[in-house]
């Protein structure tokens, strides 16, 4: 299981525990909500990190296009069309 899913599930479990409890003090309720928010923030940060990593990988693939696909001497990355 990835970090995103782990943190998301932990946040959901904390909130489920809070709603299932018969009596919860205000301080305990605030603590559980804060923990759930922290796990949600960690899940969001992990998703953003994975997105950034994917974008970098796509950029690396684009930068490493085979040079045989460009017009000779053009310096562009356009694909050569057949005659």
Per-residue confidence (pLDDT) for residue 33, from 0 to 100: 86
Classify residue 14: in a domain, yes or no.
yes
Structure tokens at 14: 């904390």
* Residue 30 lies inside a defined structural domain of this protein: yes
- Which tokens hold the place of 28? 């305990």
Is residue 82 situated within a structural domain? no
| Calpha distance 43→38 (Å, rounded) | 9
Query: Is 80 domain-assigned?
Result: no
Residuewise pLDDT in 10s, the chain (83 residues): 678 888 888 888 888 888 787 777 888 888 888 888 998 899 999 999 999 999 999 998 888 876 555 555 555 555 555 54
Q: Output the pTM of the full model.
A: 0.55
Residue at 21 is within a domain: yes
Residue 83 lies inside a defined structural domain of this protein: no
Residue 48 has which token pair?
A: 């953003």
Q: Kindly provide the b/e burial profile for residues 61-79, where b requires at least 16 CB atoms within 10 angstroms of the residue's own CB.
A: eeeeeeeeeeeeeeeeeee
Number of domains in the chain: 1
Q: Is residue 12 part of a domain?
A: yes
pLDDT value at residue 75: 54
What's the pLDDT at 70?
53
Q: Which domain holds residue 62?
A: 3-66
Q: Is residue 56 part of a domain?
A: yes
């Amino acid at each position: 299981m990835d970090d995103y899913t782990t943190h998301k599930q932990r946040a959901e479990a904390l909130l489920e525990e809070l709603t299932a409890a018969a009596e919860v003090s205000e301080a305990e309720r605030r603590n559980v909500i804060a923990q759930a928010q922290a796990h949600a923030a960690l899940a969001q940060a992990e998703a953003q990190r994975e997105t950034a990593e994917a974008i970098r990988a796509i950029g690396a693939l684009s930068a490493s296009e085979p040079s045989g696909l460009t017009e000779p001497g053009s310096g562009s990355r356009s694909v050569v069309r057949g005659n």
